[in-house]
């Protein structure tokens, strides 16, 4: 018996979950808000496949990163090719830029959103299928673009009412990092035998990655390591100063975190993260930075780039659900089949202003109960008499303003919308 024959059909795969009920509304509200902010900064949408060749991520993210080494959902397809469910969006965006020959018309500013997949240990705020909203700005090399990307994240979070604390760092340009790397190797070599197995390997392959280690044995050693900051070239230091000047001009508060090297290999110059408190724990809700070398590394021309990704699941955890705008639900009930057509027409006419349901199974009492369960504020009942008089009976299912639950009114069909606006939406809530 294979492992999957043991599982119940109603079970989801570990680390993956359905979004139902209010979660879906929150997800939609977050995506809509971030789309509006991205459009206002000159971005347009791009859609790339969820499945890509494994080599794209190995090359793009770096062989020695945790994501590539331990967390990818990779498998052989029926033709024997290794494919991977995307663990993030940047590598795909770079590929799409090259594949679609967009490198000739710069800048190109993309946003995208959707599911990403990482085989990590699931816990609150960390899932194996999670959602990101990402933006990538290709073709702009100045620090102003870094500032604009950070400002976009800041604006997105504040429009969503999420308090995010910004941390920034510079990991310098290539030349700064080369010099720094040799100092780092000298330092870590002194503690070689005390380092974790992964870090010992990284000492040879990619010493900067050691700084990102979460192993307890490594953390104490990392604390005493030299800081990249002390090795920034003049140009890299000036670039970082300008990023800070821009943030100051926009009054965006930040702290410098010298340990912020981020988990992926492709960054240089600016790296940043926004953290929010989720159950009193600071969790990264947005991460990003500049990656000038990546397009060339992936086979394209040398094109500077900067980008970020919101972790939408974590933004959902930090989001105050009371902010979801409610649209009033109205229930339309016909007494017998003879009134069905009138009910259908009336329901359609009301859908501009209200969410309208037409429960059709069972007697009026049962359908009133269903209307209550669906959260309807008012039931509109249409019987033989109402059709004859071009009127309807309105029964309130909730107390609103000066009206009580159970109040009934007879209303002419021609005045129905105006009447419903008056009785179902308290005056101060009319938009
Ligand atoms: P990264 O692509 O690693 O730079 O991550 C960008 C953002 O995506 C992070 O700041 C998190 O908010 C979110 N994120 C990354 N991995 C996960 C995960 N496994 N589950 C939920 N959110 C995640």
Q: Are residues 333 and 318 in the same domain?
A: no
- Residue where a domain stops, chosen among 260, 290, 322: 322
Q: Are residues 373 and 315 in the same domain?
A: no
pTM: 0.87
Residue whose CA lies nearest to ligand 1 atom number 14? 311
**221-279 per-position pLDDT tens digit:** 998 999 888 899 999 999 999 999 999 999 999 999 987 876 656 788 999 999 999 98
CA–centroid distance, 172 to ligand 1, in Å, is: 23
- Tell me, yes or no, whether 167 lies in a domain: yes
- Residue where a domain stops, chosen among 279, 303, 322: 322
Q: Are residues 72 and 143 in the same domain?
A: yes
- Rounded to an integer, the average pLDDT of 19-28 is 92
CA–centroid distance, 270 to ligand 1, in Å, is: 18
Q: Are residues 347 and 308 in the same domain?
A: no
Angle between helices 90-99 and 54-61 (to 10 degrees): 110
Q: Are residues 274 and 159 in the same domain?
A: yes
- DSSP H or E run through 156: helix 143-159
- Residue where a domain stops, chosen among 322, 354, 388: 322
- Tell me, yes or no, whether 57 lies in a domain: yes
* Ligand 1: lining residues by beta carbon, under 6 Å: 88, 118, 120, 125-127, 130, 132, 263, 284-287, 309, 311, 313-314
Peptide bond into 107 cis (omega under 30): yes
**93-129 per-position pLDDT tens digit:** 999 999 999 999 999 999 999 999 999 999 999 999 9
**197-214 per-position pLDDT tens digit:** 989 998 988 888 888 788
Q: Are residues 36 and 137 in the same domain?
A: yes
Residue whose CA lies nearest to ligand 1 atom number 3? 263
Count of domains forming the chain: 2
Q: Are residues 303 and 338 in the same domain?
A: no
Q: Are residues 247 and 389 in the same domain?
A: no
CA–centroid distance, 430 to ligand 1, in Å, is: 38
Contact 219, 199 (CB under 8 A): no
- Tell me, yes or no, whether 209 lies in a domain: no
Residue whose CA lies nearest to ligand 1 atom number 8? 311
**33-78 per-position pLDDT tens digit:** 999 999 999 999 999 999 999 999 999 888 878 888 889 999 999 9
351: left (phi over 0), alpha (psi -120 to 50) or beta: alpha
Q: Are residues 251 and 122 in the same domain?
A: yes
């Amino acid at each position: 018996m294979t492992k999957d024959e043991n599982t119940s059909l109603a079970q989801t795969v570990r680390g993956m979950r359905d979004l139902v009920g209010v979660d879906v509304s929150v997800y939609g509200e977050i995506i809509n808000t971030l789309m509006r902010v991205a459009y206002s900064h000159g971005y347009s949408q791009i859609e790339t496949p969820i499945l890509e060749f494994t080599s794209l991520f190995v090359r793009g993210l770096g062989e020695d990163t945790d994501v590539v080494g331990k967390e990818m959902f990779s498998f052989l397809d029926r033709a024997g090719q290794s494919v991977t469910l995307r663990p993030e969006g940047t590598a795909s965006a770079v590929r799409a830029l090259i594949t679609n020959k967009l490198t000739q018309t710069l800048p190109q500013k993309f946003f995208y959103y959707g599911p990403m997949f990482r085989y990590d240990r699931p816990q609150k705020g960390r899932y194996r299928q999670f959602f990101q909203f990402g933006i990538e700005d290709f073709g702009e090399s100045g620090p102003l673009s870094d500032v604009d990307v950070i400002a976009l994240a800041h604006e997105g979070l504040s429009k969503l009412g999420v308090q995010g604390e910004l941390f920034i760092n510079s990991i310098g340009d290539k030349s700064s990092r080369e010099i720094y790397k040799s100092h780092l190797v000298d330092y870590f070599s002194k503690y070689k035998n005390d380092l974790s197995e992964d870090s010992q390997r990284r000492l040879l392959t990619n010493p900067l990655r050691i700084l990102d280690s979460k192993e307890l044995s490594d953390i104490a050693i990392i604390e005493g390591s030299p800081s990249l900051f002390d090795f920034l070239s003049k140009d890299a230091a000036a670039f970082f100063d300008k990023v800070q000047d821009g943030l100051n001009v926009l009054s965006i508060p930040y702290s410098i975190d010298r340990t912020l090297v981020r988990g992926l290999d492709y960054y240089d110059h600016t790296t940043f993260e926004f953290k929010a408190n989720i159950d009193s724990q600071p969790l990264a809700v947005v991460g990003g930075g500049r990656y000038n070398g990546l397009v060339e590394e992936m086979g394209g021309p040398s094109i500077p780039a900067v980008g970020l990704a919101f972790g939408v699941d974590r933004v959902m955890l930090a989001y105050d659900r009371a902010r979801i705008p409610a649209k009033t639900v109205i229930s339309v009930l016909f007494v017998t089949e003879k009134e069905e057509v009138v009910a259908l027409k009336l329901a359609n006419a009301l859908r501009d202003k209200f969410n309208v349901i037409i429960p059709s199974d069972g007697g009026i009492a049962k359908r009133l109960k269903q209307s209550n369960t669906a959260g309807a504020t008012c039931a509109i009942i249409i019987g033989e008499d109402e059709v004859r008089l071009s009127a309807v009976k309105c029964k309130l299912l909730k107390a609103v303003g000066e009206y009580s639950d159970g109040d009934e009114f007879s209303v002419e069909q021609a005045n129905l919308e105006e009447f419903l606006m008056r009785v179902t939406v308290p005056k101060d809530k009319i938009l």
